[in-house]
Amino acid sequence: MAKDLFLEIGSEEIPAGFIKPALEALSQQLRNILEAQRIPHGEVRTMATPRRLVLSVSSVEERQADTETQIMGPPARVAFDPDGKPAAAARGFARRVGVDVMSLSTVMTPRGEYLAHLQRQEGKPTKQVLSEVLPSLIMAIPFPKSMCWGDLDIRFVRPIHWIAALFGEEVIPFTLGNVSSGPFSYGHRFTHPEPFEVRGWTGYIEDTAARNVYVDPEKRKARIMKRLEEEADAVGGHVLENPDLLEEVTYLVEYPFVVMGSFPPEYLRLPREVLISVQREHQRYFSVLGPDGSLMPYFITVCNTPVRDPDVVKRGNERVLRARLADADFYFREDRTVPLAKKVESLKGVVFQADLGSAYEKMERFRRLAIRLAHVLHYDKVEVVDRAAFLCKADLVTGMVGEFPGLQGIIGREYALLDGEPEEVALAISDHYRPTSADDALPETAAGLIVGSADRIDTIVGCFGVGLLPTGTSDPLGLRRHTLAVLNIILERGCRVSIPDLIDWALEGLRDKLKRDPAEVKKEVLQFFRLRLQNMMVPGRFSHDVAEAVLSRSFNDPVDAVARMNALQELKSQREFEPLAIGFKRVINILKDQRPDGEPDPSLFSDEVEHKLFNTYLAVRDAVNQSLEKGDYTEALRQMSRLREPIDAYFGDAQTKGVLVMDPDDSIRSNRLATLHLISGIFSGFADFSKIAVEDQR
């Protein structure tokens, strides 16, 4: 008979961003455990609030499945004496498996008859298994940070206060630290702090809701959104869409209670992004837009408890927001007394990194790099790139960014517009920071793309140049993130640029700062880019061997490298590819320690297959080179495929003798190696086919 499993881990408030990844890991780890423990089960469900992680599994079988394992013993010919009685080998095997020697059986295998024992293991009760595995399951939940408390020797994201663990209606007994599992859960911390007994999954959902806890995150989010829209609609507006804030707030509350407040309309003179940022980043308030899309002097906050007097909450939040807006207004007016361009000089007093100089020096370096990159990418508005690079870090010395760091780039854009800078320049100032994370959008403007890439290349090469390399999971300057950003920009925007050239340009600007050999720095940075690109491509888009084959040959132009991977992956899926790759590997293996000189002489060919291979090569060579020059890699590989049959005939098989490459005659041997060297060259210009995983069964 199957039963439901219920597990709730109650703790102090878990950081909002930690919860979803924890639920995903908890669900997957439990599936893995049940599978490993041979326990069939039904649907796995997870839910959470800031104070609890909840897991339920339906239709879990009451016992592990029994197992049968056949243990092989010695060959029958040595297990019995001439009289057919068990010999020492049989008796020893019987003792090892713990049975009487007469209960052993014999089985026929491809190697002959062997002694064997069929060992049967009866499954344990599921409740017993769960009691053993649930503590380690809970401790294995991954969190970015965890903590100890009291004098306990366990670590968790926050101190654990209770654990409800049930199999059907029975408690699964175990202890974690100073908390023992039981049948009890708790309602809202402030309104219903008393325990209640869990009555299965459905009963639990109903009982928590009755105690001001909406445990289902999706229903909680829907409730929040509905109430936000109702409040905004009451003043003739609508909520500014902000999925990230909505997600965060959903995991900050157990019982969402929505309150609207207002702020003095005169603060609407502040730049729109400033108002939104102050509300969102600092207070987690939702902004309200009018019918025309402009900001209204209202905000909406989500509380974590029922509010008896909403006016009290409203006035308190209004007071806090007014103070923040007053600060923003003060810094805004102070900043506006000096144009953004005149603030650039102050960057000389801002240290970017001790060994790499000031923010001003860095700006001058990537400014020059950005101009070169603009020319390579044929962007004709070089003056926009130059001006944007010059201004893009100036807001670092503004009072607004000092008080509200999240506005970096945004304030630079707004101040540039107010100073009368061209809109393209202003947009590039904020755009050059993107993407700021893996989920962020890429730069929308060409100038922002160019300036941002130049800035990141300078950072990456500079840090490698002074020995600030990422180690393990430590990457304080975000070099991995910067490298992925550059690669994503290049690939998504189709920028045809050479990574080695970018590194060389950055090294030129850093020559008076470097503490290491430039050649070694370039080699390490190239490898760093190569690994990031390979990780981006594998396993999501390409097989490991395809990526390795292309990238080990060349990845200087990432767009070109990905195009070659696409063509190679497509060819690899076709039936004729494997024989082609096997043939080429044979060519590579023969040439491994050989250095043939000169071109092959057809007059020395003694076999028709030699002529056929050489003539096919001549017919294919120009077509392949033309296709490679045009970037038509599918056609290039199709032309290369014409060499498959001549290569197979050249080497022969079980029915055909083939050519003896390493002929005793020096001139014939050298001539045949020269032919294979030509064949090798036509393939190796595209990718290293020796990296392709194929099985030569010939």
pLDDT tens for each residue of 27-40:
999 999 999 999 99
- Whose structure tokens read 């970017």? 352
Q: Where are the domains of the chain?
A: 2-64+125-210, 67-121, 217-335, 342-537, 560-691
Q: Which of 140, 149, 186 is nearest to 27 (CA)?
A: 140
Q: What pLDDT shows up at residue 286?
A: 97
CA 54 from chain center: how many Å?
26
Whether residue 134 has pLDDT greater than 70: yes
**What integer is the mean pLDDT of 478-501?**
95
Q: Which residue has the higher pLDDT, 111 or 158?
A: 158
Q: Are 49 and 15 in contact (CB under 8 A)?
A: no
Other Cβ atoms closer than 10 A to 437: 8
Residue 58 has what pLDDT?
Answer: 95
Q: How far is CA 103 from CA 67, 74, 115, 224, 495, in A?
A: 19, 15, 11, 69, 73
Residue 26 to residue 652: CA distance in whole angstroms = 56
d(CA 387, CA 450): 12
pLDDT digits (tens, 9 = 90+) for 223-282: 999 999 999 999 999 999 999 999 999 999 999 999 999 999 999 999 998 999 999 988
Residue 198 and residue 6 in contact, taking contact as beta carbons nearer than 8 Å? yes
Q: Which CATH number fits domain 342-537: 2.40.160, 1.20.1070, 1.10.3210, 1.10.8?
A: 1.10.3210
Contact 412, 340 (CB under 8 A): yes
pLDDT recorded at residue 448: 97
CATH level 3 topology of 560-691: Isoleucyl-tRNA Synthetase; Domain 1 (1.10.730)
Give the full edge-to-edge strand order of the sheet including 257-262: 238-239, 286-289, 295-303, 257-262
Q: Say if residue 697's pLDDT is above 60.
A: no
What average pLDDT does range 156-182 have in this prediction? Answer: 96
For the chain, the straight-line distance linking the first and the last C-alpha, in angstroms and rounded, comes to: 54
Q: Average pLDDT, stretch 10-20?
A: 96
Please state, in angstroms and as integers, the Cα–Cα distance from residue 419 to each residue in 331, 416, 424, 502, 679, following that order: 16, 5, 13, 33, 63
The amino acid occupying position 571 is L
C-alpha 181/C-alpha 166 separation (Å) is: 9
Neighbours of 380 (CB within 10 A): 10
For the ranges 74-78, 141-145, 611-615, 630-634, the lowest mean pLDDT is seen at 74-78
pTM of the model: 0.78
Q: Would you place residue 663 in the very low, low, confident or very high pLDDT band (cuts 50, 70, 90)? A: confident
Determine the Cα–Cα distance for residues 218 and 430; give it in Å rounded to an integer.
34
The answer, yes or no, to whether residue 654 has pLDDT greater than 70, is no
Q: Assess whether pLDDT exceeds 80 at residue 596.
A: no
Please check the confidence at residue 695 and state whether its pLDDT lies above 70.
Answer: no
Quick one: 631 exposed, middle or buried, by C-beta within 10 A (0-12, 13-18, 19+)? Answer: middle
pLDDT of residue 698: 43
448-458 confidence digits (pLDDT tens): 999 999 999 99
Digit-coded pLDDT (tens) for 548-577 = 989 988 889 999 999 999 999 988 888 778
Average pLDDT, the chain: 91
What per-residue confidence (pLDDT) applies to 346?
97
CATH of domain 2-64+125-210: 3.30.70.260
Which pLDDT tens digit goes with each residue over 508-529?
999 999 999 999 999 999 999 9
CB-based contacts of 244, cutoff 8 Å, min separation 6: none
> Where would I find the beta strands (DSSP E) of 17-99?
44-49, 52-61, 67-75
pLDDT at position 24 is 95
Nearest to 4 by CA among 49, 66, 60, 86: 60
How much is the pLDDT for 653? 63
